[in-house]
Amino acid sequence: MTKTLKIGNVETKNNVVLAPMAGVCNPAFRLIAKEFGTGLVCAEMVSDKAILHGNARTMEMLFVDEREKPLSLQIFGGDRNSLVAAAKHVDKHTNADIIDINMGCPVPKVVSCDAGARWLLDPNKIYEMVSSVVDAVEKPVTVKMRIGWDHEHIYAVENAQAVERAGGKAVAVHGRTREQLYTGKADWDMIRQVKEAVNIPVIGNGDVATPEDAKRMLDTTGCDGVMIGRGALGNPWMLYRTVEYLTKGELPAEPDAAEKMRIAMLHLDRLIALKGEAVAVKDMRKHFAWYLKGLRGAAEVKNRIMEVTTRDQVVSILDGYVAALESGMLEPGALSVV
């Protein structure tokens, strides 16, 4: 049976969520995630100050393709007035469905301006900030947070309760502390404790690398949805396979190299449409490395792609790679570059 997520007045078709990853979750990748069946996609975080300054790149980041909906747009900031003003802008001037507040970002430049994970130390600040945003907007407001600042300061339950009291409609919990960054193991038990302490939907995040992990997280924590981040990098099939596994109990086969390269090129072409060829080809280098991960002979292909600057060159490399794989002729130097 398909489980949906109901976040305020927004209902998703399943409970698989794409995490808001900086530098990754632009419309090109989000749309692929949506086409692969993801119930809710989240945009990469945007600074409240950058929204208020009308920064051109930031305004582009607020673009939502109708085909991506329902979509959650994430903002961050440490000052109540500017966060509220930015939320109002997202509420009135974008077609996002949900406004998400970031309380998990561990990077120093975010934390140092009293934003992101800095809030994890103060449930009262969380209540104050979230309630101010909730009062100012019509769209449902959600929060993405970590379980705590470090192992001495884990206030996940109190923080989630503050979000609920403030009128937040859901909370996503990454089972790591700020101190852990992306190392160590995610604490799913804390996610379970949060789920038991609040009545709003709880979305679990952290260490979901396979569809089986997703099911185990849902079963062991009781959370309402599962958020997939790094597991989907260069691998939207992870999202599709998870949806199929959770809804039908079926585990579709992994894609072959040709299929992976086909979607990688679709990703590139959408990025070109958004950013132009020169920027898109450069931006896609990291994505191609992820799409190629684990494939035979991938190291050489990655090295070649790092050096080229046009779509035609990328096509030539990838076509040559797939042909070499399929003919069993994959030898060092078998890949040509125009």
The confidence score (pLDDT) of residue 57 equals 87
Known catalytic residues?
Answer: 105
Return the structure tokens found at 206.
């952290």
pLDDT tens string 50-86: 999 998 889 989 999 999 999 999 999 999 999 999 9
For 162-189, write each residue's pLDDT tens digit. Answer: 999 999 999 999 999 988 877 789 999 9
Q: Report the chain's terminal Cα–Cα distance, integer Å.
A: 50
What integer is the mean pLDDT of 141-147?
A: 96
Q: CB count, 10 Å around CB of 62?
A: 19
What value does the mean pLDDT take over residues 277-281? 97
- Per-residue pLDDT band at 338 (split at 50, 70, 90): very low
Helices (H), the chain: 27-35, 48-52, 56-61, 80-93, 108-111, 123-136, 156-165, 188-197, 211-221, 236-248, 257-275, 277-292, 298-305, 311-326
**pLDDT tens digit sequence for 12-38:** 999 999 999 988 999 999 999 999 999
pLDDT (0 to 100) of residue 1: 55
Q: For strand 225-228 and strand 71-76, is the pairing parallel, antiparallel, or unpaired?
A: unpaired
Helix (H) or strand (E) holding 170: strand 170-177
